[in-house]
Amino acid sequence: MSMFVRKRVLVTGGAGFLGSHLCERLLRDGHDVLCVDNYFTGRKDNIAHLLSNPNFETLRHDISTPLLAEVDEIYNLACPASPKHYQYDPVQTLKTSVLGAIHMLGIARRTGARVFQASTSEVYGDPDVHPQTEDYFGNVNPLGPRACYDEGKRCAETLFFDHRRQHGTRIKVVRIFNTYGPRMHPDDGRVVSNFITQALRGEDITLYGDGGQTRAFCYVSDLIEGFVRMMDSDDDITGPINLGNPHEIPVRELAERVLALTGSRSRIVYLPLPQDDPTQRCPDITRARNLLGWEPQVGLDDGLRRSIDYFDQLLGGRSGVLSGIEAHAVSG
């Protein structure tokens, strides 16, 4: 019989999209959570509902500078995740990834804590192996506009595995594929938040390129379940492990789903494809299935409905396009 052990857990980037869902989950599981964030892209609104919980603490701090903490587990999520935000100050993005990893690994080494790294499918760059397996080394342009993010995350992975070899640090590395859901930043330019807010406002849907490029979208609750399973797995499971939903679709189809689910009359306009935009991306999740017993549960339409509901409320319910048809089905 397994006994519950309350852990002290540090979550960097805890006020962001994924971080706030993770803090919520860990508190629900009965743990003590320290959320560290500099609020660059994170928002206090994302964690406002957690502040009354006596097991929840927040610290405004930039992880590219050193931190001392006594904890049992560290989830390192701090890093701007959308191109618009990580390209705003590329040097700071690299500092966050590289120095942030060094500082979190330092805490883990000193305290013996397990340390989890939120890596990314971007380490595969514009992949020529499809779907992407963890042993693929990737195809990244080290000089392009996405490099501050991609190479920063690649360097962080290197640091994690060197720390394990050199110091025996207990590491957990996951590579996250496109994830969506409530509390995505409405203005971060990512495709799901863009399409939904455009549809709700009746604005044009901005499709980049011909919309034939593919992505596979994972709903946030599925991803967080994968995080917790990874952290709770045996020490010899270090990763990297892909976490994402392998249901791959052209981005054009996403636009059509959003239009259908919102009932919006927005029209689709075609804009140029950004430089280095990957033409296809889809996770191979065999490792996650076998090692973690993990499998996404939430289908695209279901997840989109919940996200549409969130953005509709965020926009003040003014859009009116939800007019009863979906509204009853999407709460929660």
- Summarize as ranges the residues that interact with ligand NAD (CB under 6 A): 12-13, 15-19, 37-42, 62-64, 77-81, 96, 100, 118, 120, 176, 178-179, 185
Nearer to ligand UDP, 228 or 249 (CB): 249
266 binds, among ligand NAD, ligand UDP, none (CB under 5 to 8 A by kind): none
Instruction: State the nearest-atom distance from the C-beta of 59 to ligand UDP, in Å.
Output: 29
SS3 of 76-108: the string is ECCCCCCHHHHCCCHHHHHHHHHHHHHHHHHHH
Between residue 180 and residue 209, which ones bind ligand UDP under the rule CB under 6 A? 190-191, 194, 206-208
With CB cut-offs between 5 and 8 Å by kind, which of ligand UDP, ligand NAD, none does residue 182 bind?
none
Residue 277 interacts with, from ligand NAD, ligand UDP, none (CB under 5-8 Å by kind):
ligand UDP
Q: Which is nearer to ligand UDP, 40 or 149 (CB)?
A: 149
Q: Which is nearer to ligand NAD, 164 or 183 (CB)?
A: 183
Q: Give the shortest CB-323-to-ligand NAD separation in angstroms.
A: 30
Q: Judged by CB under 6 A, how many residues of this single chain contact ligand UDP?
A: 15
- Contacts to ligand UDP from residues 161-180, by CB under 6 A: 178
Cis peptide bond upstream of 274, omega within 30:
no
CB of 111 to ligand NAD, least distance (A): 19
Shortest approach of ligand UDP to residue 253 CB, angstroms? 11
Read off φ and ψ for residue 315, nearest 5 degrees. -80, 10
**Interface with ligand UDP in residues 270-289 (CB under 6 A):** 273-274, 277
Please tell me the distance from the alpha carbon of residue 327 to that of residue 330, in angstroms, as a whole number.
Answer: 6
Which residue in the list 75, 86, 149, 310 is annotated as catalytic? 149
The structure tokens listed for 20 are: 């706030």
Q: Is 75 a catalytic residue?
A: no
Give CA–CA dist 101/152, Å, rounded: 10
Shortest distance, position 179 Cβ to ligand NAD, whole Å = 4
- The alpha carbon of 118 is separated from its chain's Cα centroid by a whole number of angstroms, namely 8
Query: Where along the sequence are the contacts to ligand UDP (CB under 6 A)?
Result: 82-83, 178, 190-191, 194, 206-208, 213, 215, 251, 273-274, 277
Catalytic residue annotation? 149
